[in-house]
Structure 1
Amino acid sequence: MIAYLIGNVKDKYEDFVILEVNGIGYEIFTPFPVNEDYIKLYIFEHIKEDSHDLYGFLTFKDKEIFKKLITVNGVGPKLACQMIKTYGIDELVNYIVLEDTKALGKITGIGPKTSKRIVLELKDILLKDYSPNITSSTYTDDDAVFALIALGYSEVDSQNAVNAVLAPDDTTEDIIKKSLKILSQKV
């Protein structure tokens, strides 16, 4: 198994690069544009009966998230690359953790059932393993959101309610009270 390759980028294409390592050219699919001429790529090998494809990532974390994406039934390596290419790793993780199936559904090749399956199978794993990637703009008042979740509201509904009522001088208690009014009207 190849953990990573370091070498000179000889050719760049839309979805892959040719990386020369010790005189051997490797075709490596990448979900991002490669701008450097000399690069280290963490490699995932996808071996099937009729192919042996290499996928390259700038960080080990990116590779691990890619591996989690392809565990979902209906998400193969090409679709996982498309997902990463569309939103980037951090934004993609945010959409999954926040159960934003609409954003996931905008990716070519992902329908409503697949987007729900992705959220169902990966939300808890990504929240546990990669919660530091959730952007600060996503969680404006963590304590209020967590309190609403503890009261039985979904994470998405809690976050949306908090964002709707958030005011600079409000305490967490004020935010929770205002959010509860919005959430009780939704029922």
Structure 2
Amino acid sequence: MIVGIEGTIERKDPTFVHINVNGLIYEVMISLNTSNAIQDKRVKLFTTQIIREDAHLLFGFMDMNEKKMFDTVLKINGVGPKVGLAICSTFTPETFARVVSSKDVGLLKRVPGIGPKAASRILVELADFIVDGEGESSGNSAMVEAIMALESLGFKKDAIQKALSGCSGDTSTLVKEGLKKLQRL
């Protein structure tokens, strides 16, 4: 499986690039966000390879979180690579995480190829979508860890988020505060 590609750009369109890797030229499908991020002739992309009966396809991303977002939405029944790329072209991973957490069907319907039913299904199946990476603050990672700890104790995600809203601190402080508030709910 090809998980990355590095080479020189031979041709660049908004939705794909041709990358020359030591004389072998690969066509890599890209999102509009990745297309805008490519500034140099030399490029390194994180890739997802999809092998079908009629094609071997490469999808490239400058940002690892964008690749993770693409891979995550592909796991949803009825979402293929074309719609996955449309989602990556419409939203950054951080914005998409906010859309999913706020369950905003209206924003998700703006993506070409996604109607109201598909938008609702995507939001239900991605209720636990979390973006991770270097851009994540330590406070945010403490919140994520606290939520996972409370979920492992058997509490429902909605109740946990209600209990932890407005709380801050390290993971252990958040878990203690959450437990206090969850006992009252």
TM-score by length of 2: 0.68
Corresponding position: 1:71 with 2:75: yes
Give the residue type in structure 1 aligned to 2:123.
Answer: V
Corresponding position: 1:105 with 2:114: no
With over 3 angstroms needed to count, the CA separation of the structure-2 counterparts of 1:151 and 1:17, relative to structure 1, is closer
Determine the structure 2 residue equivalent to 1:179: none
Corresponding position: 1:17 with 2:21: no
Asked whether the 8 Å contact 2:74–2:80 carries over to 1, the reply is yes
Corresponding position: 1:48 with 2:52: yes
Determine the structure 2 residue equivalent to 1:90: 94
Give the residue type in structure 1 aligned to 2:81.
Answer: P
With over 3 angstroms needed to count, the CA separation of the structure-2 counterparts of 1:86 and 1:13, relative to structure 1, is same
- How many Å apart are 1:88 and its aligned residue? 2.1
d(CA) in 1 for partners of 2:70, 2:160: 33
- How many Å apart are 1:35 and its aligned residue? 2.6
Determine the structure 2 residue equivalent to 1:181: none
- How many Å apart are 1:65 and its aligned residue? 1.6
d(CA) in 1 for partners of 2:63, 2:161: 36
Post-superposition, which runs of at least 4 consecutive aligned residues in structure 1 deviate over 6 A? 131-135
Q: Write out per-residue CA displacement over residues 115-159 of structure 1, whole angstroms, 9 at most, x where no aligned residue.
A: 1111111121x13x5499789xxx9xx9xxx9xx53897xxxx99
With over 3 angstroms needed to count, the CA separation of the structure-2 counterparts of 1:133 and 1:113, relative to structure 1, is farther
Determine the structure 1 residue equivalent to 2:26: 26
Determine the structure 2 residue equivalent to 1:163: none
Q: Write out per-residue CA displacement over residues 51-110 of structure 1, whole angstroms, 9 at most, x where no aligned residue.
A: 111000113332122110111111111111111101222212211122111100111110
What percentage of aligned pairs have identical amino acids? 30
d(CA) in 2 for partners of 1:111, 1:130: 28
d(CA) in 1 for partners of 2:60, 2:12: 13
Asked whether the 8 Å contact 1:95–1:103 carries over to 2, the reply is yes
Give the residue type in structure 2 aligned to 1:30.
Answer: I
d(CA) in 1 for partners of 2:92, 2:28: 18
Q: Write out per-residue CA displacement over residues 14-71 of structure 1, whole angstroms, 9 at most, x where no aligned residue.
A: 2000011111110000013133211110111111101111000113332122110111
SS in 2 for 1:123: coil
RMSD (Å), alpha carbons: 2.9
Structure 1 portions without partners, runs of 5+: 160-187
| Equivalent residues, number | 144
Q: Which moved more, 1:88-97 or 1:17-26?
A: 88-97
